[in-house]
Structures are given as C-alpha cells and as structure tokens.
Structure 1
Amino acid sequence: MNIAIITEYFPQSEDLEIKGGVEVCAYNEAVELSKYNNITVITSNESGKDDFYIGDIHVICCGNKRDYTQKGSFIKRLKFMKEAYKQACKLKDIDIIIGYNFITYPVAYKSSQKLNIPVVARYHDVWIGRWTKMMGLPGLFGEAMERYILNQDIDLILPVSDYTNKNLQKYTNPEHIKTVHNIVDFPNVTSEKYDKPTISCVARLVDYKRVKDLIKAVCIIKKTIPDIQCKIIGTGPEKDNLIQLTHKLGVDDNIEFMGFVEKHEDVMKVVNSSDVFCLPSVVEGFGIVIIEAISLKTPFVAAEIPPVVEASGRYGGLFYEPRNYEQLADALLKILTDEELYKKLQKEGYAQSKNYSKQAIGEKLNKYKNKLKN
C-alpha cells in the first residue's frame, strides 16, 4: 500500500536526531511499515530541506523552518497544520493516511476526506479535561481540537496502551479502537558504568514531567550517598526553573543538565552507564524509555501511573506515588543500596522488554491497515 504519515516532528537525517516519544513512535513504525508498503512522511521543516529520504521513507518538510517545541508556538503550529494539509492533498495514489499527535489528527482527517481514503489516528494519551492544567490557556485550543476529532468518523484509532484504549471509549466508537503497543527498537550499545553512583533521566523539561521531583529526591539521597550523580537529558521551558531549584537545594555538583543529545545511541549510552533510570512524569502515553532502560538491564524508578505500569508489567523497577519526592528518594535508595534486589530487577526487566519487538508490533500494525483497505 501507499501510506502517508503526518507527524509534527520526524528525524531530519539518517543520524536520527530524535527528541520526543511521539517522534520515536512515528519513526519506528514508518521503518517497519516501509518493509511492506511505500511510506511518505509529512512533517515540520526543522532542517531547511524540502524533502529527503531515510532509507526507503520519503520525508516531505512543509512550511517555514521552525525549531522543535512541545509547548506554545500556537501560530506556528496553526501554519504547520495548514501547510501539512496542502501537502497531503497533493499526494497521489495514497491508500491510507495516519496522524500521530493532536495537531496532526485534524490534518489527517480533513486530508482523508479530500482524498476519499481511510484515516488512522495513532493515539498516545487522552487529555480531555486536562489540557488547561497541563498547558495553561493555550490548552483551550487543544481541548476543543481533541473533542472535535473524537467526534468524527475516524476509521481506526490505535492507542499505544490498554489504559489509553479505555479512556478513548468514553468519547468515541469502541469498535474503531485497537490497542497496538509501541515498538521498542532495542538499543545495541556498550558502555562502562560511571565511576560514581548515577541516576539518569530522559524527559522534556515541562512541568508535567516532574523533573523537579527528581531534583528534590537527589537532595535527600545526597545525605546517604554524598557523591550521587544525576544526568538529565532533555530541553524545554522549565530548564531555567530547574537550574534555579538545583542552586537553591545545593545539589549543583550532583546534577548535570545535558540538554538535547542529538543521537539516540548516545542517549542510550548514558542510560546504559547509569545505575538506575528515573521517569518522574505524571503524564505518559506509554513510557517507551522505560522499556529501553530495562532492555539495557538498567533498573528504573517511575511514578505509578497506569500506562507505565502496563508497559513494564511491574517488572524491572519500582514505583512511587506521583509527585511524592520523598517516596521517590526511598525507591532510588533501595535500588542503589540493595544488590540482591538490583540483580532481580535486571533479570526480570530484561525478560519483560522482549514483549515489544519491532517485528511483532510491525506485523500487527500492517494487519490492521490491510483490513482498512479491504
């Protein structure tokens, strides 16, 4: 089949500079689907290129050049939606069109009507009722847009978890919803453990990722493990506030803000070299980085939210009450100081990670899309 994917962001070269979970999902699935189909991706213009290829995937960049963002940029995002729609309507002989996030669902839907083809929404999380809490006033637009798209006749909605599936059923036709978990392209990296006890975290620096809880936990852990280190990978609007918190708590020597790490392989080297991985986020569609961590035999500590519990099966790490940084500190200390527990988590986590092979998920995606064409 000829499949069009519309995603706000996508790697801009074969170096695979990936910044967010939706982008990881779109890329991994484009690669797998390209084994069976012809794939065209419509995305933002981050590099200044009009179009290029990654393997067999044709990537078309639309609109003016703009930087990656996960918050704000309201006007720029509206312009991207308009340009993506124009570009999609120019495509020839497309069989199915897929949207990968909130601002691309309406684009994919309207394009499918114009082209008279089925539309698919790859769904990561339901934010209805939470938009303004998470995003402030701009969230009103997101709330309206999500309610709008779930009221349309979407041919197939593919949530990344049963948790998201259950939430979707409140707002749209359950018969059109099929859970397909995220692909994990298991990182093949080798690196030595850091000399000092180290926690790693990979997250956008936005409020709901709760990186501030991790910083507060490090302050507590420092009393027991004075040389504890914490490496935080990611960028976002909360960076300055987080740096100020680090100064205030006196943990400047313990925390390193690594910013955006361009190559995914280098991100995974940091996770592999760490003693424990932490995901303090209270909003996740799936938590793919948790699976990547346990595939590297790096145990995790995460806020106990349903999508991450589902993804891990409660194997390979410990959970704590969301936003409770004291519990977070206790869980991290347990893993860092209990050798028997550490080895148990490594073994069971590694076994759990194998449930997300790209071949199994790719075949499932292809099966559902073939049913749409038929």
Structure 2
Amino acid sequence: MKIAYVYDAVYPWVKGGVEKRIREVSVRLADRGHEVHVYGMRCWDGPAVIERDGVTLHGVCPGEGLYIDGRRTVPQALRFGKAVLRPLLSSGADVVDCQNFPYFSCFATKAASVRRGFPLVVTWHEVWGDYWYDYLGRRGAFGKAVEQLAAGLTDHHIAVSPSTARALAGLGVSGPVPVVPNGIDLARIAAVPPAAEEWDVIFTGRLIREKNVDVLLRALVRVREEVPDLRALIVGDGPERPALERLARDLGLDGAVTFTGFLPDYDSVVAAMKASRVFVLPSTREGFGIAALEAMACGIPVVTTDHPGNAAGDLVVPGVNGYRPGLSAGEIGEGIVKILCNSNIDDRKCVTLAETYDWNRIVEALEQRYSAIV
C-alpha cells in the first residue's frame, strides 16, 4: 500500500507524542514493504522532499512555531491546512491517515479524498469537548464546533486510547471506534541501565497547568511524614516551572525535590525512571500518557489520576501496576505511600502489561486496519 500521514510537526525536529507515533509506525510500515509518505511543515534545511529511514517526508510549507503563550495558533493551523491540499491531490495514496489536531488539515485532506477517491482515516489523540472553554474562554465555542465538524468528515476513525474512543461517541461518531494505542520500544528501554542517583518519586513531562505538578508537590508533604528522607525528581520544563519551584520552597520541600529541566536525551529519562520507585502523573488532560507507559516498561508502578480527561488512567490496573486516586493532594499522597511503604506490586507485572504496547504489535494492528479500509 501507499500510505500517507498528515500532521504539521515532523519528528525529530519536533519531538511530541504525535510526531513520535508517526515516526515509529511509518518506519516500521516501510520495513514491511509499504510506501510511506509524511506530509508536514518543512522543519529541516534543504529540499522540500527528503527521504529518512525509508520514509519520504514532504515539507508542504515553511516551518514555524506552533505555540504563542502556550497555545496553538489558529493562523499556523490554517496555513498548513491550505498548503497540504495540493500535495495530497497528487499523492496517489491508497489511504491517508490525518491526525485530528489541529483540525484544519483534516478538512483539506477530506477535500483531497473527495477529488481523488482515497479513503480518509482520522486518528484521534484527544477529544477536548468542553475543555475548549477552559482553553479559549468564550471563543472555545468555535473550537468545539470545529472539533464536532471534524468528527463527521469520515467513517474511518482511530482512537489512541479507550477514553478517547468513548469521547468520540459524544461527538456523534456511531459504532465502536477501533483503538490502536501508542507504543514503546521495549528493546531500547530494556538496554538502558539505571542512573547512578536513586529517587523515590519521579515525574516527567511539560510543566503546564494541566499536569497539576503543584498537587504532586502538596502530596509530597504528606508522603514525607511517612518517608522522612524522601527524594523526588521533577523532569521537564514549561511555563509553570518558576511558580512550582517557589511552591516547593514554600512547602519546605526544597531539600527533597529536584527540578532538572529537560534531560539531554531519551535514554537519560529512561535511566532516571529505572532509578526511581514510583512514577506520578497527576494530569487531568492526557490523550494517551506515553510517559506512564514508559515507566511501566521500566518496572516502575504508576500513580495517576482517575479523571475523564486523563487517558493514562486506562493504562493502570489498580493494585497490579499502580493506583488511580482522585486529584486531591491527600489521595495522590496516599497512593504514593502505598507503593513506597506497603506495596506488594510486582515490578514484573508492570513490564508484562507494558509489553502489550510494543510498536511492532501496534503496526500490525494499523496495517490490518488500513488493509480492511482499502
């Protein structure tokens, strides 16, 4: 098959979860004999069309920043949506998989699919619903309407998590939506040795409001009552970092909590996870929760929130590979203490559950889905 992916940002020049998913599946699909093309912004120097790891990358417009003041910009999304239309019309693709966000490219891909007759697949990484109002205020009504319209563009949807599949029903998508989750490279994770410095608690991710790292810090005050020599590591950076560092000092945690910023490479993050005892993700907005899955693959139990916007909760079986408490600092602290002080969780069970998300299994599921559609 000739398979095309549409998303504005391209790995490795942008290293988010969606970019990583497209890269991992496209390289493996190419290895399985398919012709794979990725249509995005030209994030690289040189010609607009290049080949990398057996995959053809198309830079349909100049690269530009995706965010202003922490929010995706509408003009950038519109420019990319407009720019991708003509290349898709001449793509000759058998199937095109367009990522749901930032939406306008879905409409351009739909227009090309009508003209050229190829099936359109929309892969949904999140459904925002009423969260649009938190994100944009009253203007969120526009974002919510666009999301609703995008859900009606095709009969071929893929969700990356069960919670996203359930949310699509709220947008009027009928019938069961197949779930093809994100994956991990288990062999690479297994090859990384633990870091020399050990930690009790680790968090990794962007330091933004929705991650609720402030709640984690307050939870650590409770945990410290049971574990006086507690050591916690906060890996990541973002607009909330200065406020979080001040909060840690105000809570008397400055000797117990270390902020590292982003670590230099992926293996450094994995090494830090392997040197930790529990991974905590108190987020209320996760389309999948890849960091939680990576922690499981390291044999680390996960504490994450039981919240409808947090798809990472789908990864956790309480008492088997972690816990899913509520969002309060007390509840999260209790979950952490259970693991640090009273846990009978078998680290091997964490790894066993993670093994079902190996990228090779994910690619087989995608290949079967595309074949059925074509």
Instruction: Give the TM interval when normalised to the shorter protein.
Output: 0.7 to 0.9
- Deviation of 1:51 after TM superposition, in Å, equals 4.2
Matched with 1:320 is 325
Give secondary structure in 2 for the equivalent of 1:113. helix
Letter aligned with residue 23 of structure 1: E
Q: Residues of 2 paired with 1:2 and 1:220: CA distance?
A: 55
Q: 2:35 aligns with which of 34, 38, 44?
A: 38
Q: State the TM-score, normalizing by the size of structure 1.
A: 0.86
- Deviation of 1:114 after TM superposition, in Å, equals 3.8
Letter aligned with residue 330 of structure 1: E
- Deviation of 1:68 after TM superposition, in Å, equals 5.3
Contact preservation (8 Å) 1:196, 1:227: no
Q: Residues of 2 paired with 1:221 and 1:259: CA distance?
A: 23
Letter aligned with residue 54 of structure 1: R
Consecutive unaligned residues in structure 1, runs of 5 or more: none
- Deviation of 1:365 after TM superposition, in Å, equals 0.8
Give secondary structure in 1 for the equivalent of 2:304. strand
Letter aligned with residue 19 of structure 2: E
Alignment of 1:185-224 (within 5 A): 185-186=185-186, 187-192=189-194, 194-224=196-226
Alpha carbons of structure 1 residues 196 and 260: separation in structure 2 relative to 1, 3 Å: closer
Alpha carbons of structure 1 residues 200 and 136: separation in structure 2 relative to 1, 3 Å: farther
Give secondary structure in 1 for the equivalent of 2:233. strand
Matched with 1:365 is 366
- Deviation of 1:101 after TM superposition, in Å, equals 3.2
Q: Residues of 1 paired with 2:125 and 2:23: CA distance?
A: 15
Matched with 2:250 is 248
Of 167-176 and 311-320, deviating more is 167-176
Q: 1:64 aligns with which of 57, 62, 65?
A: 62
- Deviation of 1:242 after TM superposition, in Å, equals 2.4
1:51-100, Cα deviation, whole Å (9 max, x unpaired) = 433311122234333245462333333323333334433x4321111112
- Deviation of 1:136 after TM superposition, in Å, equals 4.0
1:208-248, Cα deviation, whole Å (9 max, x unpaired) = 22122112222333344344333223333333332332333
Q: State the TM-score, normalizing by the size of structure 2.
A: 0.86
Letter aligned with residue 235 of structure 1: D
Alignment of 1:94-109 (within 5 A): 94-103=93-102, 104-109=105-110
Q: 1:270 aligns with which of 266, 269, 272?
A: 272
Alignment of 1:5-154 (within 5 A): 5-12=5-12, 18=15, 20-34=16-30, 35-49=32-46, 50-67=48-65, 69=67, 71-89=71-89, 91-103=90-102, 104-136=105-137, 139-152=140-153, 154=154
Consecutive unaligned residues in structure 2, runs of 5 or more: none
Q: Residues of 2 paired with 1:3 and 1:368: CA distance?
A: 12
Alpha carbons of structure 1 residues 349 and 36: separation in structure 2 relative to 1, 3 Å: same
Give secondary structure in 1 for the equivalent of 2:20. helix
Give the number of aligned pairs: 363
**Identity %, equivalent residues:** 23
Contact preservation (8 Å) 1:98, 1:119: yes
1:311 aligns with 2:310: no
Give secondary structure in 1 for the equivalent of 2:215. helix
RMSD: 2.6
Matched with 1:234 is 236
- Deviation of 1:121 after TM superposition, in Å, equals 0.8
Q: Residues of 1 paired with 2:243 and 2:45: CA distance?
A: 31
Alpha carbons of structure 1 residues 241 and 63: separation in structure 2 relative to 1, 3 Å: farther
Contact preservation (8 Å) 1:26, 1:100: no
1:308-334, Cα deviation, whole Å (9 max, x unpaired) = 33323433112210x211111121122
Contact preservation (8 Å) 2:195, 2:271: no
Q: Residues of 2 paired with 1:185 and 1:141: CA distance?
A: 38
Q: Residues of 1 paired with 2:111 and 2:263: CA distance?
A: 35
Give secondary structure in 2 for the equivalent of 1:158. strand
Contact preservation (8 Å) 1:3, 1:38: yes
- Deviation of 1:255 after TM superposition, in Å, equals 2.9
Matched with 1:174 is 174
Letter aligned with residue 202 of structure 1: T
Contact preservation (8 Å) 1:161, 1:181: yes
- Deviation of 1:138 after TM superposition, in Å, equals 5.7
